[in-house]
Structures are given as C-alpha cells and as structure tokens.
Structure 1
C-alpha cells in the first residue's frame, strides 16, 4: 500500500530560532522556585506583573516591564524562546545555568517585549470580536460582516439577503434564520454554522476546480475540517481537507489556502520549488499568508 503523505498549513508561524549561549560549567540550578531568580528591584516586586504566564516560575524586568515567564528544562542544544497566547516560555538544556538563562532573556528583551505586545493586542482584538448569538449578531462571511435576523416566517434553514441598502457603517448583508425570537444562543449558532458549512463546501469545491487544472493536478475528495491549528491538509491520494472557517476570510485568502494544498499534490514539502509552484497561480501568496496569520477569527 502506498504510504500516505500529509502536509499541514499551520495557523501560526514556527517558533523563532533560539539564541545559543556559551556552555556553562556550573551545576544546574533548580527551575521550580521563583526565589532562585536574582533579586528584583522593590518597585518591580510590588507592582503587578505586566505580563504573567499562568505557569510562571521565573521573572525578569525587561526595559522597565515586569515579565513573569514559564521556564522549563528540555532536551535541546540551546535556549529557546516561544511567545504564545499565555505568555513567554523559555526552554533550556540541563547544563545551562540560571545566570546564563537570565542573561539570554535580557539579551532577547526587545524581541520578547515586541512579541508579548503583539500577542496581547491580538488577544484583545479576538475578544472584542466575540460573537454573542442572538437576533442582530454579526459575523464575517467572505470578509464582509453579516447581520443575523431571526425570522420565524421562513420555512427552514437560513437565507442570505444581499439586496439591503446599507447605511454608513452598517453591514449590507443579512442572514435570515428560520427561528423564533425565543431561540437559544446554541440554536442560533448551530443554524448559522450549518449555513456557513454549506457555503464553504460549495465555494471550496469551485475554487479547487478552478486551480487544479492550472497546477496540472487532480484532487479526488474534499473534506471540511474543524481543526484548531490547521487551515488545510493535502494527501497524496488526492484528498484535500480545508477548515470550514476559512469561509470567514476574503476570497483571495481562501484561494491562497486552496492553491497551497493543491500545490502539495505536486511538491510534498515546503521547499523553494513548492513556493515557486504556489506563486504560479497566486503570485501575492506571501501577503495573503500574512493576512491569514494576522487577522484573527471571532470566537464562537
């Protein structure tokens, strides 16, 4: 049986290249106790942490900003830094001393603070766009806001109205959902999701059929996924998986993901030849890739 190959398009960029410290000869120190860190200025200790990882066990003052971060030992060759939604995580091999860790964190302070600021801003944007499922709720569809209208006169499902005369600052699209005003948030959410998934299936199929001949590949099956960290995957048997929530993005962004996965049917890696293949049909793929990464989807 031919070995199944699968590649994934991740939601986030890979972690940055870690800084490599000089090997230390001192005995490794315990990583659990925050008290093992060097003494901090009194004002930093008394002030609330500006950035605080929920599993923080070390701390540092970086450019006047107090940062409590997670530190852990790992089987690796150098110190690694990762900034995620929870905050900063620093990993290091057992032979690196805590003093070396502190020096590396200080040396990386500009990068750490910029990433922490960006993560906090992204979190705030995501939370501000959280959908409250009720009559009048707004959600994005192909990059445009759509207003939910509960209309119990409808027979079933949902119908998109594109004829509305938009007022300045008001979405022009309305989705009329056949539910009464007494419907629960879960009922409204499920009805909207079912409609969005139908639109995703139709549109993704259309875009796959559009780009496959240009890339001289043949896709055999489309599967809608709900993966938390992947926008799409391609299998060597011609199966394409696409996250249905891509339907929230503008069509050029969707086209980039479709072209990305179809290109894997020709080049099953992320080598320069792969990106050259993507560029033959989506020349602006780098810009669209950035939009896919930087434009957060509203929490459901």
Structure 2
C-alpha cells in the first residue's frame, strides 16, 4: 500500500530518490501480489452458456433458453446463471433485462460461488486418518483390521474430555477409499436410525402426535418429510449436525402431522417444542454438509 501511495504522490511531486534497500530478512519474503491480479474481473461461466455480457466488472456467460412463458426469468444455481424468456422477446431486450438485474445476479452468483468453495473444502478424502463431523464434533477414522467389533464392523471410542473421538473400522490397512466410505456410511446410518428414533419418541408426545414408520432418506433436496399416516422420512446425513439442529428437523416433520402446511399456525406449533427453531433453521441452511 505504501508503494502504491508513493507512486500516486510522485505523479504530482518532484521525483524522490528510491529508498535504501531493506536489510535481508532471515526468511524469504512472501510473494508479491501484482495490481493486475488484484483487480482482475470476476468470471461466472455457465457450462452450457450461449450468451455473454459484462456486468459491472464481471464477465457473465449465461445459459439462455426460450419457452412458453410470459416474462423473463432468472435462475442462479450451482452451474451459474440461466435466463429463460418468451419466444417473442428480442435478444436485446433479454440483455437489457439481465443488465437491469445485474446487482441481484452478481450478488447471487458470488454467494453461490462461495457456497461451492465451502462445500469443496469439506470434501472427505476417504483414507485412514480422515475426519468428518458427527453430531457437530469431529470424528477421526482409523482402520483396525484386528477387530470385528461384535459383528457391526465399527466402534466409536468414547473419548476423554476435549479429545477428538476415533471411529475404528474393521478394515484392512490397504482398504480402498470406497470400502472405507461404505463402512463409515453404514455406521453413520445405524447411528442415524438410533438417534432419530430417540428424538421422534421424545417430541411426538409433546406435540400430541404419533408416528409409526421411520425411513432413512438420501434425497438431494429435502432433509425430511411427513405423511398424514404418520410415516416420517429423515435424511441420514443429518447426523453430521449438532443435536439441536436434528431436533429442529424432527420437530418440524412431526409438527406436519398436526398442520400439513407452512402457515403461521405450523411455525407456532414448532415453536412450542423448539423455541429457537429460527436460528437452528438458519444453521441448517448455512452450514455446509461434508461432500462425499
């Protein structure tokens, strides 16, 4: 910053002699960040892009489709921006609409890019010593080929104090990543069924409802669902979250057995058993789930 400021002042003042070179440091200096790199425009390129615009200082290449619709629509997803327009709208009007919405589009593209980066940072590299969250706390995987753990194939050490807990898998030391992943998933799904059953039994009487069937889900868009006949579906990967977050989802689905919509009455029902449901709901949205 000092160098840049000095350069700016030099445009108006008489030249000054360059400063004496600094004394050599014991360790190498960090690499320089060039101004061109720091100010390079952002790029958001959809893999199926057919049109491209410059919005502010950003290059945005978006997927464009036409269809039976009355208005121009914008969708920002994991791949980028998709614009859908009626068949009769001219391309110049489509571009004008994109520019008019540029503030919203750029904000959503940046947010999506940040979420993707966070998600990639949580990707699990399945090997001996890898860790993943269980009930909000890290668990380290260790391969232990000498034990069968009473036929279940895995055992979680109790841990002492703040010590990270260890999940011991009955696998050979040369087990493949797929074998390690499958063994860990089998253990997590057993824990999910046990924990979900306990929490369903805890909240159901408090809400005055009865449930009769629990199914572990692997849905891509829903954490849970409920049917009027008392059948509950919960995503097994909820066990990555803290127990209060799980409680919110469980109470949410059980509340649907009383109110089958998301009206004010529904949220009031949830609040009777989970008063801080709004904060927990936000945590569920914001906290990235480990990528398998």
Tell whether the structures are fold-level matches, with TM greater than 0.5.
Answer: yes
Residue 50 of structure 1 aligns to a residue whose secondary structure is strand
Residue 206 of structure 2 aligns to a residue whose secondary structure is helix
Partner residue of 2:133 out of 140, 149, 160: 140
Partner residue of 2:69 out of 48, 73, 76: 76
Aligned pair 1:90/2:83, yes or no? yes
Structure of greater Rg? 2
Residue 147 of structure 2 aligns to a residue whose secondary structure is coil
Aligned pair 1:158/2:154, yes or no? yes
Q: TM-score, normalised by structure 1?
A: 0.79
Residues 253 and 150 (structure 1 numbering): CA distance in 2 closer, same or farther, change over 3 Å?
same
Aligned pair 1:109/2:102, yes or no? yes
Task: Map Cα deviations across residues 106-130 of structure 1 (whole Å, 9 max, x no partner).
Answer: 1111111111111111111111111
Residue 292 of structure 1 aligns to a residue whose secondary structure is helix
How many equivalent residue pairs? 250
Whether the 8 Å contact between 1:236 and 1:265 is mirrored in structure 2 is: yes
Q: Offset of 1:149 from its aligned partner?
A: 0.8
Whether the 8 Å contact between 2:52 and 2:60 is mirrored in structure 1 is: yes
Aligned pair 1:222/2:214, yes or no? yes
Whether the 8 Å contact between 2:199 and 2:250 is mirrored in structure 1 is: yes
Alignment RMSD, CA only? Answer: 1.6
| Residue number in structure 2 paired with 1:242 | 234
Gaps of 5+ in 1: 1-46
Whether the 8 Å contact between 1:49 and 1:68 is mirrored in structure 2 is: no
Residue range with higher mean Cα deviation, 276-285 or 54-63: 276-285
Residue 73 of structure 1 aligns to a residue whose secondary structure is strand
Q: 1:120-139, aligned counterparts within 5 Å?
A: 120-139=113-132
Whether the 8 Å contact between 1:162 and 1:172 is mirrored in structure 2 is: no
Residues 79 and 198 (structure 1 numbering): CA distance in 2 closer, same or farther, change over 3 Å?
same
Whether the 8 Å contact between 2:155 and 2:168 is mirrored in structure 1 is: yes
Q: Offset of 1:74 from its aligned partner?
A: 2.8
Q: TM-score, normalised by structure 2?
A: 0.81
Residue 230 of structure 1 aligns to a residue whose secondary structure is coil
Aligned pair 1:264/2:256, yes or no? yes
Aligned pair 1:177/2:173, yes or no? no
Gaps of 5+ in 2: 1-39
Q: Distance in 2 between matches of 1:79 and 1:273?
A: 35
Q: Offset of 1:151 from its aligned partner?
A: 1.1
Residue 223 of structure 2 aligns to a residue whose secondary structure is strand
| Residue number in structure 1 paired with 2:273 | 281
Residue range with higher mean Cα deviation, 96-105 or 232-241: 96-105
